């Protein structure tokens, strides 16, 4: 702002097309974990990732946010989705000024184009210590957990909390497991109270934290001790990320996180 200039390298674009309808308990988190698994943690370094295809066209906004949020886990500069009716509906009542829609040219040049078949996709779980270590839920095996964390910038929208609450309603977190929920913003926190979601989560034994990063980066409240294991809806699971260098973090979507909290091990809603 001081000079009106900024230094940057213009990024090439990698387009990822997703085709097919999603199975139950599968969403944006699973699409992006699968994508990072294919690209690797530096597969999109300094590039722009553009998510497109039929699956994305019907993907709700909160799940698009998760995908955009995690573009950096593949090294990308940005993760973009062409604005459509879903985007414009989300903007209504939120945007303080007239929006201008930018779309990729029909003859745009892409550095690489990938296609991912989404219809057979299972919920994905990224194993420590890399967001690129994605495996389908059915290949996870028996992994006991000490903590489940639902929230953060990546998956702390009101819809994420609704997804988790729909699984946790009438159920309890496993004995000895810490279930921590952190809404992304004070407005989401308020909404979760008004909708009764906070009550459902408290009944399930959850601790609700104030909107912040919380244990995601080992900041506070839910820091992992030596040898502990957590499943988390956050964006990265590097060595020591949530506490002790000898603790482990697994990444998954809020449905899987909620089910895993009840099971005391990694599992999906179908295992309940």
Partner 1 sequence: MRIEGKVWKFGDDVDTDLIIPARYINVSDPDVLAKTCFIDIAPEFASAVVPGDVIVAGKNFGCGSSREHAPLAIKAAGVGVVVAKSFARIFYRNAFNIGLPLVESEGAWNGIAAGEKVVVDLTNGRIENLETKKTFPARPIPEFMHRLIEDGGLIPHIRNIKKSAR
Least Cβ distance, residue 130 to partner 1 (angstroms) = 7
| 3-state SS class at 78 | strand
Q: Which stretch binds partner 1 (CB under 8 A): 1-9, 85-93, 101-109, 164-172?
A: 1-9
Interface with partner 1 by CB under 8 A: which range of 20-28, 41-49, 160-168, 186-194? 41-49
84 binds partner 1 (CB under 8 A): no
Q: How far is the CB of 235 from partner 1 (least distance, A)?
A: 9
The DSSP result for 183-208, as a single string, is -SSHHHHHHHHHTTHHHHHHHTTPEE
Q: Contact between 227 and partner 1 (CB under 8 A)?
A: no
Tell me the window of 17-25, 75-83, 140-148, 154-162 that interacts with partner 1 (CB under 8 A): 75-83
226 binding partner 1? (CB under 8 A): no
Element holding 251 (H helix, E strand): strand 248-251
Q: With CA atoms as reference, report the closest residue to 137 among 148, 154, 122.
A: 122
User: What's the farthest any 2 CA atoms get from each other in the chain?
Assistant: 58
Which listed residue (193, 219, 227, 272) binds partner 1 by CB under 8 A?
Answer: 219
Angle 223-227-233 from CA coordinates, rounded to 5°: 50
CA distance 183 to 201: 12
Q: Using CB under 8 A as the criterion, which residues of the chain lie in contact with partner 1 when the complex forms?
A: 2-3, 7-8, 41-42, 45-46, 72, 75-77, 130, 217-219, 223, 236, 238-241, 243, 245
């Amino acid at each position: 702002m001081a000079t009106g200039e900024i230094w940057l390298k213009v990024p090439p674009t990698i387009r990822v097309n997703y085709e097919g309808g999603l199975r139950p308990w599968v969403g944006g988190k699973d699409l992006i974990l699968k994508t990072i698994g294919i690209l690797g943690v530096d597969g999109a370094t300094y590039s722009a990732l553009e998510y497109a295809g039929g699956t994305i066209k019907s993907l709700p906004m909160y799940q698009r946010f998760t995908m955009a949020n995690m573009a950096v886990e593949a090294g990308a500069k940005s993760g973009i989705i062409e604005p459509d009716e879903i985007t414009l509906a989300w903007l209504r009542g939120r945007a303080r000024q007239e929006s201008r829609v930018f779309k990729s040219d029909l003859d745009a040049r892409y550095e690489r184009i990938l296609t991912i078949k989404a219809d057979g996709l299972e919920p994905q779980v990224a194993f420590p210590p890399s967001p690129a270590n994605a495996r389908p839920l059915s290949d996870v095996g028996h992994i006991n957990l000490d903590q489940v964390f639902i929230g953060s910038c990546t998956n702390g929208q009101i819809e994420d909390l609704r997804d988790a609450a729909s699984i946790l309603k009438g159920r309890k977190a496993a004995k000895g497991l810490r279930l921590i929920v952190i809404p992304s913003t004070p407005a989401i926190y308020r909404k979760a109270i008004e909708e009764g979601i906070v009550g459902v989560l408290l009944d399930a034994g959850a601790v609700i934290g104030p909107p912040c990063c919380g244990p995601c980066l080992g900041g506070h409240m839910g820091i992992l001790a030596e040898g502990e294991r957590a499943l988390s809806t956050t964006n990265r699971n590097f060595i020591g990320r949530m506490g002790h260098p000898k603790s482990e973090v697994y990444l998954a979507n809020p449905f899987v996180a909620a089910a895993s909290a009840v099971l005391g091990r990694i599992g999906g809603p179908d295992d309940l």
